[in-house]
Amino acid sequence: MRFGWRVFALVFPLIAGLSLAPSGLAQASGTAAEARRTALFEEGRTLHLKGQHAEAVEKLSEVVRIRKSPQALRALGLAESAAGKLVAAMGHLRAALQMATESGPASEVAPTKTALEELSPRVPRVRVVMTGEGSVLVDEVAVASTAEPIEVDPGARTITARAAGKVVFTKVVQAVEREVVEVRIEVAATGSLRRPLGIGLAAAGGAGLVVGAITGILAIGAHDDLEKKCPTGVCPRSEQPSIDGFHALGTASTVGLVAGGVLAAAGAVVFFTAPRVALGARVQVTPFVGVGAAGARVVF
């Protein structure tokens, strides 16, 4: 029995230590993460003050990944704003304001509101208005075709419109701070050019057939006259002009009928094999008259 108690006395502390180890390790890990977060925050803020905004964004993004807070989100938004990433900056500042308003600290509400008010007018916006069925993409991201402007970063932005699975319009516009770019796209169905072409060929073929028929009738009449004047089948030399005229009418009739038939057949093939509709986009340019925006609005 004494041996058993000695074994228990030796094993119990070991078991107790193992059972408490996970919580201790988790606490140590959390403390290390917070320490790293604090160090990254200071590094990011220092880089931002030095004007190294892109590097500051990297550090502060990692801070937010470790743990979000109104202070970290506001710092990240300010660094992104200075780096030209205005859309991301607006998103992080809005998140910081919501978090500070809902759970504090209250001291973060006022400076975050001020940062948002200063940044919002700077953000370029694109307004895409499309009439007709289709979808709109800005930089390959689907957006709603609406009168509400879309926030974008400064620089080249690609506007694309699709209808019936086809790209019917694409345009690269320059988004500039404090300006609104408006793109109006009108998608309409228009007839295929092959159908009018088919009609034209068929009409030309029909005309050829008419000419061939008329000259054929005249050739028959000329042949009947020659038979009366030349009953033996041999015409005097004085009838040579009539004979030449008969041959000319016969040639014209043959050419007209053959060519007319070919053109009419080709026109029918072109007409009936042409697509019935094609999609196109019309782009309109109008002046800008806006409220709360400086500069000009460019409409494509």
For the stretch 9-65, pLDDT in tens is 443 344 444 445 555 556 666 788 899 999 999 999 999 999 999 999 999 999 999
pTM across the whole model = 0.56
Domain borders along the chain are 2-121, 124-186+280-299, 194-276
Give Cα separations from 253 to 33, 212, 216, 248, 265 (angstroms).
98, 4, 5, 9, 18
Domain 124-186+280-299, CATH class in plain words: mainly beta
> 268 burial class (0-12, 13-18, 19+ CB within 10 angstroms)?
middle
pLDDT bin (cut points 50, 70, 90) of residue 145 is low
For the stretch 260-297, pLDDT in tens is 788 778 777 766 675 544 444 444 433 343 333 333 33
Range of 63-77, 170-184, 206-220, 247-261 with top mean pLDDT = 63-77
Quote the CATH superfamily of domain 2-121: Tetratricopeptide repeat domain (1.25.40.10)
CA distance 284 to 266: 39
Among residues 136, 139, 144, 114, the alpha carbon closest in space to that of 124 is found at 139
